[in-house]
Structure 1
Amino acid sequence: MTTGETNLNTLLKNMTPVLNDGDYVYCTTSSLSNINTDAIIAFFKEQEAVTLILKKETADRLNLEYSYIAAWITLTIHSSLEAPGLTAAFATALANENISCNVVAAYYHDHIFVAKKDAERAMLTLRKLAE
């Protein structure tokens, strides 16, 4: 199994952000028993509840509350979970543009959720960072 890229300069130069279609929301639930796990983008079990990231239409269909509608950006380079600095670099670049980001590091890629209204500016910022 490959472990991904660790060199920060290589990661930044080749991160190639892709804006996924759709609107995404963060919700909480006490149980996953009534939710088809195929519909879940990501979840994390916290002490208080299970946090879910879902397509907005899935949350609406399940009558789950949310207050934040996000766009989902995937950095397509296979980054190592041990690569230092990548999250700090793109989070700082986005913060400098007053764009909040919520990051999910998965095995192959980093995923960034930004407010829907900031999606295009975030993509521009990430592309500039890669230059």
Structure 2
Amino acid sequence: MVAETDLTVLLKNLNPVASSENYVFTTLPANKLTNTLVSAAKGMFQEREGTTLILPLAAAKQAELQFEGCYRCITCEVHSSLEAVGMTAAMSSALGKAGISANVVAAYYHDHIFVPFENVDLALEVLASLSH
């Protein structure tokens, strides 16, 4: 499967799909990470100040972790190249104009956008409009 780089093709084939699960962003020092938390994580990023985990809400609550906000993950099912130019900007700009914060994670095959759970339906509409 060849990853797409053409912005017009990417936006036309965005196909955003929302998760039914709620996620939270939390941070821990590296020495507090457990195998259970790492395996539950949707995403993880090591920063100088600590390790950020994107966890299902239930996993964060079970581990009694602190977090702010609750998000839904929208996966753009188009196979976007990590070399593609403008896709993140187009999505973030459109969501920003609608007053929706967007936390974008680019993975190898797809881009994932974490939006406040209460805005997920509007975010899907906004992203779908980019394909027209």
Amino acid at match of 2:128: R
1:114 maps to 2:115 = yes
Is the partner of 2:42 in helix, strand or coil?
strand
Aligned 1:10-21 pairs, distance under 5 A: 10-21=9-20
Identity of matched residues, %: 42
- State the Cα RMSD in Å: 1.1
Name the structure 1 match of 2:46: 45
The Cα of 1:76 is off from its aligned counterpart by 0.3
Deviations 1:76-102 (A, max 9, x none): 011000000000001000011011100
| Poorly superposed stretches of 4+, deviation over 6 Å | none
Amino acid at match of 2:34: N
Name the structure 1 match of 2:28: 29
The Cα of 1:34 is off from its aligned counterpart by 2.1
Residue ranges of structure 2 left out of the alignment (5+ in a row): none
Name the structure 1 match of 2:78: 77
The number of residues matched between the two structures is 130
- CA distance, structure 2, for counterparts of residue 60 and residue 8 of structure 1: 39
- CA distance, structure 2, for counterparts of residue 75 and residue 96 of structure 1: 19
Give the TM-score normalised by structure 1: 0.95
Give the TM-score normalised by structure 2: 0.95
Name the structure 2 match of 1:87: 88
- CA distance, structure 2, for counterparts of residue 38 and residue 120 of structure 1: 28
